[in-house]
Amino acid sequence: MPSFQATFTRFLVRSLLKPYLMSGPLTTQRSRFASLAGPRRRYGEKIERVQIGDLRAEWVVPPNADPRRVLYYLHGGGFVACSPKTHRSLAARIAREAGMRALLVDYRLAPEHPFPSPVEDTVAGYRWLLANGTQPDEIVIAGDSAGGSLALATLLSVRDSGGPLPAAAVCLSPATDATLSGASFTARVADEAMLSVDFCRQAVSSYVGALDPCTPLASPLHADLRGLPPLLIHVGTHELLLDDSIRFADKASKAGVEVTLRVWDGMWHVFHGFDVPEARAAVDEIGVFMRAHLGVSGGATARKPD
């Protein structure tokens, strides 16, 4: 049963935040998403900007970070909005819990840069890490929503090219099916506190365009999933994209991938970014998973209240 804090926050998200973010033209939506990025560095992290070819990126470095290990985090935003700045706080929380640095790339956005441009950028960021001395078994790739899709597409692209894969991957409410054919896309309309059906359809149209929406790198659910590293997938019961996670986890498991699927009762799309007990527990669980697959013991140090 969801906590009181989560129930109340979900009400506020649905009644106030969702209408604010999901309405208006794309330019308005982008500026509204950007306005949610707070300037405060909540966990004492350092921000170091870096250039990867034409791609801008930033390091988020918590005080307890082991410089050898990297969380390669890909932000969500429906492929059309957001940036490292909007997701810096969430990446910092996860990185702090796992005791590692986080690299966030400012990948190109649709519709100006549709598929495969964002995938090309996220693959380039991963290859840059390898070229600059980070070992693949010291990397965990992660992402939320559209970023979860890009994390999976990056894994698939690297695997298909014969490159070394990271130690593990974490996907938070990943968008895995560009056909939007999951039963929850219609069954959970009344429950979804964050996303709207119109936003999802417009985002997919902007990203995929006239291409077949079953194209594997645009729609990882339709890919051959053999050979992927261990996966942790988090999703809420109250999500339009619930079935994107459930179906993907089932297919990956049948393909021989080690998958941990965690379905959070009463939670909404990427609830991890909110100050509720379930989000803190989820980040703790992500930290445990990441440390286990990196061969690291212990948890976060010098923690501040969430």
**Residue numbers annotated as active site:** 145, 239, 269
CB 299 within 8 A of CB 283: no
CB 231 within 8 A of CB 262: no
Nearest residue to 75 (alpha-carbon basis) of 62, 61, 86: 86
**DSSP SS3 for 68:** strand
- What distance in Å separates the CA atoms of residue 98 and residue 202, rounded to the nearest whole number? 35
Tokens of 227: 């050979």
CB 285 within 8 A of CB 262: yes
Place of tokens 């979860």: 148
Nearest residue to 125 (alpha-carbon basis) of 143, 107, 149: 107
CB 189 within 8 A of CB 240: yes
